[in-house]
Structure 1
Amino acid sequence: MTFWKKAGLRTLAAGAALAVGISLVPAAKAQNVEWSMATPWAGGHWIDLGAKRFAELVGQMTDGRVKINVFPAGTLGSALKVTETVQSGVAEVGHNWPAYDWGIDRTGVIFGGWSGGLTPEEYMLWLYNAGGAELWKQWRQEVSNVVVVPCGILETEIFMHSHKPVRTLEDYKGMKVRTSGAWAEIATELGASTVVMAGSEVFPALERKVVDGIEWGGPGINMSAGFHKIAKYIVTPGVHQPSGAHECMFNKDAWAKLSDKDKGLIELAGKLTTYETFIGYGKDDIEGYKFLTSQGGNEFVQLDPSFIAAAKEASFKWADKQSASNAWFKKAYEHQRAFQKDIANWSKFRLPIGITQQ
Structure 2
Amino acid sequence: MTDTKKLTKRAFLKTAGVATAATGASALAAPAVLGQSPIKWRLQTYAGVALAEHVVKPAIDAFNKVANGEMVIELYTADQLVPTGELFRAMQAGTIDAVQSDEDSMAAPVDVSVFGGYFPFATRYSLDVPVLFNQYGLKEIWEEAYSEVENVTWLSAGSWDPCHFNTTKPIRSLEDLKGLRVYTFPTAGRFLTQFGVIPVNIPYEDAEVAVQTGELDGMAWSGITEDYTVGWADVTKYFLTNNITGAWIGSFFANSERWNEVPEHLQALFRLCMDSSHYYRQWWYWGGEANLRVNGDKLELTSIPDSEWNQVVKAAETFWEEVAAESDRSKRVVEILKKYAGVMEKAGPPYRCV
1:303–1:145 distance in 2 versus 1, CA, 3 Å = farther
Residue 5 of structure 2 corresponds to none
Q: Distance in 2 between matches of 1:135 and 1:58?
A: 28
Residue 150 of structure 1 corresponds to 156
Secondary structure of the residue that 1:216 maps to in structure 2?
Answer: strand
Secondary structure of the residue that 2:166 maps to in structure 1?
Answer: strand
Note the residue ranges of structure 2 that are not aligned, 5 or more in a row.
1-32
Residue 93 of structure 2 corresponds to 88
Q: Distance in 1 between matches of 2:317 and 2:135?
A: 24
| Paired AA for residue 169 in structure 2 | K
| Structure 1 residue 251, shift from structure 2 partner | 0.2
CA displacement, residues 267-320 of structure 1 (integer Å, 9 cap, x when unaligned): 23222321122112223334433342xx22x43211221342122222221221
Residue 271 of structure 2 corresponds to 267
1:228–1:258 distance in 2 versus 1, CA, 3 Å = closer
- Cα RMSD over matched residues? 2.6
| Paired AA for residue 262 in structure 2 | L
2:313 counterpart of 1:312: yes
Q: Select 1:170's aligned residue among 168, 175, 194.
A: 175
Residue 186 of structure 2 corresponds to 181
Residue 14 of structure 1 corresponds to none
2:193 counterpart of 1:192: no
TM-score, normalised to structure 1, is 0.80
Residue 284 of structure 1 corresponds to 288
Does the CA contact (< 8 Å) of 1:32 and 1:65 recur in 2?
A: yes
Q: Distance in 2 between matches of 1:194 and 1:260?
A: 43
TM-score, normalised to structure 2, is 0.81
Residue 40 of structure 2 corresponds to 34
Does the CA contact (< 8 Å) of 1:111 and 1:136 recur in 2?
A: no
Residue 334 of structure 1 corresponds to 335
1:170–1:351 distance in 2 versus 1, CA, 3 Å = closer
Q: Distance in 2 between matches of 1:142 and 1:101?
A: 17
Q: Distance in 1 between matches of 2:173 and 2:135?
A: 37
Mapping for residues 1-358 of structure 1, pairs under 5 Å:
32-45=38-51, 47-102=52-107, 104-105=109-110, 107-118=112-123, 119-143=125-149, 145-150=151-156, 152-157=158-163, 159-238=164-243, 240-292=244-296, 295-296=297-298, 298-348=299-349, 350=350
Q: Distance in 1 between matches of 2:112 and 2:157?
A: 18
| Paired AA for residue 148 in structure 2 | E
1:266–1:90 distance in 2 versus 1, CA, 3 Å = same
| Structure 1 residue 102, shift from structure 2 partner | 4.2
Q: Distance in 2 between matches of 1:50 and 1:285?
A: 15
Q: Distance in 2 between matches of 1:60 and 1:135?
A: 33
Identity %: 17
Note the residue ranges of structure 1 that are not aligned, 5 or more in a row.
1-27, 354-358
Q: Distance in 1 between matches of 2:273 and 2:220?
A: 29
Q: Distance in 2 between matches of 1:144 and 1:244?
A: 26
Aligned residues: 319
Does the CA contact (< 8 Å) of 1:44 and 1:221 recur in 2?
A: no
1:228–1:55 distance in 2 versus 1, CA, 3 Å = closer
Does the CA contact (< 8 Å) of 2:160 and 2:278 recur in 1?
A: no
User: Which has the higher Rg, Structure 1 or Structure 2?
Assistant: 2
| Structure 1 residue 180, shift from structure 2 partner | 1.2
| Paired AA for residue 338 in structure 2 | R
Q: Distance in 2 between matches of 1:253 and 1:351?
A: 41
Q: Distance in 2 between matches of 1:334 and 1:66?
A: 41
| Paired AA for residue 264 in structure 2 | D
Does the CA contact (< 8 Å) of 1:114 and 1:242 recur in 2?
A: no
